[in-house]
Structure 1
Amino acid sequence: MKFKQVFLFLAFLFLVGCKSEKPDLSIISNGTASSKEAKEAHENIDKNSYSEILPYLKDNALIESDGSKGVLLMFGSNNCKYCDKLKEEIVRSKMLQELLKNNFCSYYINTSYKKVHRFFSKNLDTQELGRFYAIRSTPTLIFLNPQGEMIFEIVGFMGGKKLELALEYISQNPNLSEAQIAENLYNLFAQKSLL
């Protein structure tokens, strides 16, 4: 008998409690805003890894030329000390910042993340883009002409002064072959005592 009384008492409290509360519709999410925000945050998680140079780059979700400038793809990765040194050089040098922003459509691609990039007319994820250019180590800089054809590649870290000269020279000579660019850069570095 006692069990039945306790059960009725608890049921009464439950029903009274339910009747006295009105639902607060403001706490119910329709799901779209938070899902959209979460998706956007996930798609842009790579940007945190190069936030210090983000002002000098374009959004790598859409990689293309503006029609007149060449394209610079800077491949980097997390826990890469030379990628960090490259970013430090860019932060320190106003000249590098201006060259990246004004002479190229510049993009940083962090190979530690998977993201879909609209690369000229195709969709490629980060790993596919890295395989396309046979990226084996970071940092690697890939230079493309405005039509998206590769014209030069720099594998490994290059100090700020050499990088400034390379960016300036390549932006002014996008129609030379890779061999011609390499030879001319070598001679330019020798003239400036940067070898």
Structure 2
Amino acid sequence: MSKSLCFFLAMAISLLATAQESAGDYVVTRDTPSWFKSSFLDFPEDISEAAAEGKQLMVYFGQDGCPYCKKLHDDNFHQAEIVSLLKEKFDSVAVNMFGDLDAVWIDGEEYIEKTLARRLNIQFTPTLLFLDDEGNEVLRIAGYQSPPRFLSALHYVLSDLTDGVSFADYWRQQAKQDEKVTALPDLAPPFSAPPYNLSSPSKMTAVLVTQSSCSICNEWQNFLSSDKAKQWHEAFAYVRLDLFGRDNTMSGDQTASQWVLDKQVAFVPAIIFLDESGTEQFRVDGYLRDFHLSSVLDYVASGAYRREPEFQRFLQQRSDQLRQQGENVTIW
């Protein structure tokens, strides 16, 4: 066998291995549930067809190899009550965040899947957009949420409250009913004491929103206290707020609860990153494991969010760089 043939064969095997690795255990076009609508991604048409059947439209953005998308499908989309509601009340359409299929959005503008995702500022997968019969976005879920939280979101979208009550307020009332008194662990970062001033003249502010009886909150807090996270501690002024914090006041005697509600925090835990003037630059309020959470901290602390507006592209680049440095990248 010639050297050139060996070289090209090795390259082909390498590319195949890379493709298989990047695809992981989940492929959008293969693993989308069979009850999703077969759509030409002409969304004005999809809206009209859904409305004609008395339904609303759910637009799902996923990507190949996304463990959170797989968890959504394995957990949420196998819950009988969730599946029943989605089949009866919604037309569900899947979009590949990095796909190349033609798409027409609600405004009549033409895109391909990946440019549509960019136009709609899709930062995390899965992201689900719930649209009314006029194409207005009623609710956006950015990232994975557990079946009970997801079901609560569906009930909100199907309620008569969407014009007068924000989902953040609706969900807070649901969460309040199940609240238990659970001590939260102390954290390694030097968290500010109230009253809070959410603008620092020299660094970003990372506002961590938690609540009692929240296992994921404890997960995030344990990560922030770990050696892995300490490299970013100096980049942020840290503030921790409780979702129902009535006593922790902000500047101007605003309670923590009021500030969080004004920010429309729908799920906890959440981290809201504010610049030196107190203006929000980035947030995450979907379930993330350690690698993705560390990538979010790196994305903001390094200033990469200013030059690369798409977090998922930054995430791919960071993963490649870490692998080139010999690190074992475990995304789940």
Q: Are 2:28 and 2:64, in contact at CA under 8 Å, matched by a contact in 1?
A: no
Which residue of the partner structure matches residue 124 of structure 2? 137
Could you state the TM-score of these two structures normalised by the residue count of structure 1? 0.66
Alpha-carbon separation, structure 2, partners of 1:72 and 1:174: 18
Q: Where in structure 2 are the equivalents of 1:35-46 lying within 5 Å?
A: 46=28
Which residue of the partner structure matches residue 109 of structure 1? 95
Which residue of the partner structure matches residue 15 of structure 1? none
- Residue 166 of structure 1 and its aligned partner are, at CA, apart by 0.9
Q: Are 1:74 and 1:141, in contact at CA under 8 Å, matched by a contact in 2?
A: yes
Alpha-carbon separation, structure 2, partners of 1:156 and 1:91: 15
Percent identity reads: 22
- Residue 167 of structure 1 and its aligned partner are, at CA, apart by 0.8
SS for the counterpart of 1:113 is coil
Q: Are 2:66 and 2:125, in contact at CA under 8 Å, matched by a contact in 1?
A: yes
Alpha-carbon separation, structure 2, partners of 1:186 and 1:158: 15
Q: Where in structure 2 are the equivalents of 1:45-56 lying within 5 Å?
A: 46-50=28-32, 53-55=33-35
CA change 1:90–1:60 in 2 (3 A) is farther
CA change 1:119–1:98 in 2 (3 A) is farther
Of residues 60, 64, 68, the one that matches 2:39 is 60
| CA RMSD after TM alignment | 2.4
Alpha-carbon separation, structure 1, partners of 2:118 and 2:132: 19
Q: Where in structure 2 are the equivalents of 1:6-155 lying within 5 Å?
A: 46-50=28-32, 53-55=33-35, 57-61=36-40, 62-63=42-43, 64-65=46-47, 66-67=50-51, 68-120=54-106, 121-155=108-142
SS for the counterpart of 1:54 is coil
Unaligned runs of at least 5 residues, structure 1: 1-44
CA change 1:122–1:59 in 2 (3 A) is farther
Matched, 1:162 2:149: yes
Q: Are 2:28 and 2:63, in contact at CA under 8 Å, matched by a contact in 1?
A: no
What letter corresponds to residue 148 of structure 2 in structure 1? K
Could you state the TM-score of these two structures normalised by the residue count of structure 2? 0.40
- Rg larger in structure: 1
- Residue 93 of structure 1 and its aligned partner are, at CA, apart by 0.5
Post-superposition CA distance 1:145-179 (Å, at most 9, x none): 111011221111100111112112212237426x7
CA change 1:152–1:191 in 2 (3 A) is same
Q: Are 1:75 and 1:111, in contact at CA under 8 Å, matched by a contact in 2?
A: yes
- Residue 122 of structure 1 and its aligned partner are, at CA, apart by 4.5
Unaligned runs of at least 5 residues, structure 2: 1-26, 180-212, 215-332
Aligned length: 147
SS for the counterpart of 2:34 is helix
